Structure 1
Amino acid sequence: MIANIASSGNSQPAKGSGRFVNAGILLLIVLFVVILFGSCNKFLDTKPVDSITPETYYKTQTDLDRALAAVYDRLGDRRTYGCGLWGFLNFSDEFYVKSQPTGYMSNTLDASMLELNRCWEALYVGIERANMLLDHLDGAAVPDSNKNEVKGQALFLRAFYYFVLADNFGAVPLKLTSTKSPLEPNIPRTPLPEVYAQIVKDMKEAEGLVKEITYYGFGGRISKSAVQAMLARIYLTMAGEPLNDVAKYADAKEYANKVIISGKHALNPSFQNVFIRLSADEYDIKESIWELEFDGNNQGIVREGGYVGSWMGIYCPNIDTGFGYDHVHITAKVYNVYEPNDLRRDWTVAPFRFVPNGSGTRAPVTRTNWSATQIYERSVGKYRREYEKARPRDQDFTPINFPMLRYSDVLLMFAEAENEATGPSAEGLEYVNKVRRRGFGKPVDVADPAVDLPALGQQDFREAIRAERFRELSYEGIRKHDLVRWGIYVTTMQQQVTEYQTNMPANLSDAAIKQASRVTSRSVLFPIPNTEIAVNPYVTQNPGW
């Protein structure tokens, strides 16, 4: 299947993407040529000039922009970062799904699961589109500087798609050129170190080609900061499970430091405001280094809405207020990880829900606080639809952008990488304390003994950083990834089973226990989809599946 993905495959229109001319229209044009010239020879000698092929496309700046938009497009697929990779394919100790005892929303994974198959497919379609753009970029009649910028974007996105695949599926077929024929041979799984080596190679080349974030002025485009921050994340991943290449901690520190010393980024003084601005479609390029763009309510011609805030958001039965499903609930572990007076808790974990006063999706609602003991009943609060500006609101689709990389993550990555490479330092401690001060509503650059961590040894600082990542980055699609690279995903989820059995209300615990208990040693990697194995005899299944 990898060798045969069609470059034009698209389940929904891509932003700004070109469309292939309908074959029926082309046939009519050819018939007109036959009648007009009345010559078989003329007909045989005439080449259609109105069809779009790789050889006739990729010629103008508009062509390149549209092709690049098509590469970006797969990021927002519902099975990738439209929902799956921060939601129903990302089960961890952050959340449980309340009302789905079976199916993909209950952590019931297998190699035949449609949503998992489509996640794999969407990622490889993104790679194929990037390969097509890279293969034909040199033929464009545009300045070299423009070509280089587009090339950097495409290289980053190809590398990122491979990173997501490797992170979730392990070794995968590595394909670096576009498909020229459906008869091309199938590709076996490439050893994981080779996949990561290519990811790093692409990212490093992209770093020298893309522009600074201040040039773009918004976080939806890949900037130099985004490349450097993502390289820090990739190197941290390589240093942890399963590669355990501890030399990469030094590289992770280097690339996190590049972002820090660039002077282009800073923490937003308000943790809450980071997410208000995401909901309101307001860019904050100092804090939000890369965000996945969604737009509108999916009720017009252009349909680029997402599920941020509806699938994972505050429970609300009213469309006009901002509909939120009662699927995703927080865990007591998230709630309890916050210290007293940490303002992040009541923003990350919604302290209220909207209670209907009548029936129907436009019945009035009342904002009602949860009691102190109602913990597992609460919703995720980071993505609040009440700040949406698009009208009318839709029950499912929102314009809320999803945070892919934030500056606070970079500061915490620096501290972690340095601590693992050489031990704790005053600099790494200060970066963690900046994040903490902001969480408590304090000035980030002013030392505050009431909230600052003291100097700690390596093991204690390791645990402090991990706890801080949990507080700061919950529900941003990174928690499971962290637990896996730390080598504690399975044990953490087994502990959650005990927690649910012991402390969770009986009317909620059944679904949560089943979801967490399905995480076993095989769950560190997804199964290779059956659709791939069925067409590619060189691809073997992951252990346990």
Structure 2
Amino acid sequence: MKTNKNSKKLAVAMVALLALGVSCSDEFLEIAPTGSLADAQVSTSEGLDGLLIGAYSMINGKLNVPNERGGAPNHWLVGSILGGDANKGTDPGDGATLATFQRFQADPTFAEVNVLWQSRYEGVSRCNTVLSTVAKSSESLPAEKVTEVSAQARMLRGHFYFDLKKNFNNIVVFDETVLPTDIVLIANDGDAWALIEADFQYAYDNLPETTDAGRVNKWAAASYMAKAKLYQKKYAEAKTWFDDVIANGVAWNGEKYALLDDYSKVFNAAFDNHAEAIMDVESSNETGSVNNSNWFDDLNYPYLTGNEGPGDCCGFFQPSFELANSFRTGADGLPLLDKSYNLPANEVKNDMDIASTEPFTPDAGPLDPRIDFSIGRRDIPYLGWKPHPGQAWIRVQAYGGPYSPKKFVYYADQEGTLTDASSWTRGYATMNYPIIRFADVLLMAAEAEIEAGTLENART
């Protein structure tokens, strides 16, 4: 009983002291959250611009977490490797988990799959934050600012949801009106297409035609809407949107969309924001952080032992035999659409099992000339560095094949100017990655034409 009495006295004394402290001052409770901004700070025009830039930054998928290459915006793992355009590359032990994707053995527990999910929902979250902040601040901001910010945020949200729908199909769908605590209660069977189309429609109706480089415009929204319609097999509607983009679409600077006259410029940082660029992952150099460069390709350079070529590492993402052979043409220069390019007589000559010190003569053709802007192959000039030496730039040829990646690799004269060397490799490329190119629009328009128009228009 004595112990209980003493405990009660102590408790009463503590309550009395607490009451005394609160009655004098409760300022010690007024502590601003660390690492966050108050509503008043982000509800200004400048604050909204900062939030919007944060939403744009997630287009590149960077989360700074392990296994983050699963969230790469170019989908080299879940797109090109699963699709057969490329092998995992390097050697069997390096990044062994990634090889499971090529073997169709990856499952939802894989970290790379989770990162893809997380990075796209991080993008959705940032867009929703912009939109909810706009809603709270609308009375204190000019109407045109509210519309401008909202249209960009909804365009970006449509992009993130499209990527989620494309990759996962069954996804959780919510907008800026849903409280974070309620999101966990939402089933993964929402009507994503309805929200995606609504976002693209709002963006199309409210975005300008001309913008700063790197920002989305009216025609990016139209192109993405057409793509969304195509994925849903709404061919007639997709055709209408594609026709509008082809006839009237202009790039960020007002220049009419067009195919570049030099194919190599599409994959050259010196020509970023060109007439084919409809929506890009923007890249920057000399920022002191590879987060702003092509961080997702840091492994995807030839396997080097010195500085005779780009990067320092690592021989991943090697173009496949299938991709190389698909550049074979007939004598008329047209592609072999029956896939006869894979027959032994038509396979592209390569240097498998031939040492770099041994003589080799490249394939004499006929080949589509775009092969040598897409694939690094033996004895063909490689972006101003030197002719590709074959095995000397391949880590394990018997495992990854004889080819090296070439698109989105930097040129020799760009090292130190259009690269970022602030991380562990000698340099990351800093060139834009296209989410939608005008070439994509033409090909998708042809598909819609085949289904809802005429074959002749599709051929054109």
TM-score (norm 2): 0.70
Q: Does 2:73 correspond to 1:73?
A: no
Q: 1:326 aligns with which of 311, 315, 334?
A: 315
Give the Cα separation in 2 of the matches to 1:198 and 1:377: 45
Aligned-residue sequence identity (percent) comes to: 22
Match of 1:266 in 2: 258
Q: Does 2:120 correspond to 1:123?
A: yes
Give the Cα separation in 2 of the matches to 1:346 and 1:85: 20
Give the Cα separation in 2 of the matches to 1:61 and 1:262: 32
C-alpha distance 86-201 of structure 1, shift in aligned 2 (>3 A): same
| Superposition map of 1:355-374 within 5 A | 367-370=387-390
Give the Cα separation in 2 of the matches to 1:62 and 1:320: 46
Q: Does 2:47 correspond to 1:63?
A: yes
- SS of alignment partner, residue 289 of structure 1: strand
C-alpha distance 189-49 of structure 1, shift in aligned 2 (>3 A): closer
Q: Does 2:255 correspond to 1:229?
A: no
Deviation at 1:328, TM superposition (A): 1.7
Q: Does 2:69 correspond to 1:92?
A: no
| Superposition map of 1:415-494 within 5 A | 415-425=446-456, 427-430=457-460
- SS of alignment partner, residue 344 of structure 1: helix
What do the CA deviations read for 1:77-111 (whole angstroms, capped 9, x no partner)?
Answer: 25478636522222211011122453134414122
| Superposition map of 1:110-259 within 5 A | 110-138=107-135, 139-140=137-138, 141-177=140-176, 180=179, 182=181, 186-191=185-190, 194-212=191-209, 214-216=210-212, 218=213, 220-239=214-233, 248-259=234-245
Q: Where does the alignment leave 5 or more consecutive residues of structure 2 unmatched?
A: 1-20, 63-67, 250-255, 330-365, 392-396
Q: Does 2:373 correspond to 1:347?
A: yes
Deviation at 1:274, TM superposition (A): 1.3
Q: 2:293 aligns with which of 305, 325, 331?
A: 305
Give the Cα separation in 1 of the matches to 2:379 and 2:285: 24
- SS of alignment partner, residue 103 of structure 1: helix
Match of 1:405 in 2: 436
Give the Cα separation in 2 of the matches to 1:391 and 1:330: 23
Give the Cα separation in 1 of the matches to 2:106 and 2:322: 24
What do the CA deviations read for 1:160-201 (whole angstroms, capped 9, x no partner)?
Answer: 11111111111211111266454765111125xx21121111
Contact 1:315 1:325 in 2 (8 A): yes
Contact 2:278 2:438 in 1 (8 A): yes
C-alpha distance 378-148 of structure 1, shift in aligned 2 (>3 A): same
Deviation at 1:134, TM superposition (A): 0.8
Give the Cα separation in 2 of the matches to 1:392 and 1:72: 20
Deviation at 1:67, TM superposition (A): 0.5
Deviation at 1:57, TM superposition (A): 3.7
- SS of alignment partner, residue 279 of structure 2: strand
Give the Cα separation in 1 of the matches to 2:109 and 2:325: 37
What do you get for the CA RMSD once the two structures are aligned?
3.3
Contact 2:200 2:221 in 1 (8 A): yes
Give the Cα separation in 2 of the matches to 1:376 and 1:301: 33
Contact 2:61 2:120 in 1 (8 A): no
Give the Cα separation in 1 of the matches to 2:291 and 2:183: 34
Contact 1:308 1:402 in 2 (8 A): no
Q: Which amino acid counterpart does residue 187 of structure 1 have in structure 2?
A: I
Contact 2:272 2:431 in 1 (8 A): no
Give the Cα separation in 2 of the matches to 1:322 and 1:150: 39
Deviation at 1:320, TM superposition (A): 7.5
Q: Which amino acid counterpart does residue 208 of structure 2 have in structure 1?
A: K
How many residues align? The count is 365
Q: Does 2:264 correspond to 1:275?
A: no
Give the Cα separation in 1 of the matches to 2:285 and 2:163: 27
Deviation at 1:71, TM superposition (A): 1.2
What do the CA deviations read for 1:133-162 (whole angstroms, capped 9, x no partner)?
Answer: 111203154322122111111111111111
- SS of alignment partner, residue 160 of structure 1: helix
Give the Cα separation in 2 of the matches to 1:166 and 1:125: 15
Deviation at 1:341, TM superposition (A): 4.7
Match of 1:27 in 2: none
C-alpha distance 86-161 of structure 1, shift in aligned 2 (>3 A): same
C-alpha distance 420-258 of structure 1, shift in aligned 2 (>3 A): same
Give the Cα separation in 1 of the matches to 2:420 and 2:166: 38
Give the Cα separation in 2 of the matches to 1:158 and 1:113: 25
Give the Cα separation in 1 of the matches to 2:295 and 2:419: 16
Match of 1:513 in 2: none
- SS of alignment partner, residue 173 of structure 2: coil
- SS of alignment partner, residue 418 of structure 1: helix
Deviation at 1:410, TM superposition (A): 0.9
Q: 1:390 aligns with which of 415, 418, 421?
A: 418
- SS of alignment partner, residue 388 of structure 2: strand
Q: Which amino acid counterpart does residue 349 of structure 1 have in structure 2?
A: I
Contact 1:309 1:400 in 2 (8 A): no
C-alpha distance 69-352 of structure 1, shift in aligned 2 (>3 A): farther
What do the CA deviations read for 1:342-386 (whole angstroms, capped 9, x no partner)?
Answer: 22111111134899xxxxxxxxx8533559x99931112112312
Give the Cα separation in 2 of the matches to 1:94 and 1:105: 14
Greater CA radius of gyration, 1 or 2? Answer: 2
Contact 1:82 1:307 in 2 (8 A): no
TM-score (norm 1): 0.60
Give the Cα separation in 1 of the matches to 2:198 and 2:109: 33
- SS of alignment partner, residue 186 of structure 1: coil
Contact 2:418 2:431 in 1 (8 A): no
